């Protein structure tokens, strides 16, 4: 599963051929969550509230890039790195 971004101890990854809806995986320490790209809703798992807020702020600014990477992952193409939250 390729890592597409890292910031503040959070790792963002995307699986190839993952299930719908389009989503990404965020990891922070022992926590992990799958988050829908469109709604930024947690689909599975959990993150601490502060980490989730940071992930949602980042994803809200990079939705178009996340959708592009989702399509690339479905087509087994290399994924683009996305600028971290600063």
Output DSSP code: residue 60. Answer: H
Q: pLDDT tier at 17 (50, 70, 90 boundaries)?
A: confident
Domain ranges of the chain: 3-74
Q: 0.75 exceeded by the pTM?
A: yes
The β-bridge partners of 11 are 6, 27
Element holding 28 (H helix, E strand): strand 23-28
The predicted pLDDT at position 74 comes to 95
């Amino acid at each position: 599963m390729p890592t597409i971004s890292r910031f503040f101890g959070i790792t963002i990854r995307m699986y190839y051929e993952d299930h719908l809806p389009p989503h990404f995986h965020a990891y922070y320490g022992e926590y992990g969550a799958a988050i829908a790209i469109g709604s930024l809703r947690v689909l599975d798992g959990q993150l601490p509230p502060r980490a989730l807020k940071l992930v949602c702020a980042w994803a809200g600014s990079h939705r178009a890039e996340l959708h592009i990477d989702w399509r690339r992952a479905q087509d087994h193409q290399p994924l683009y790195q996305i600028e971290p939250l600063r």
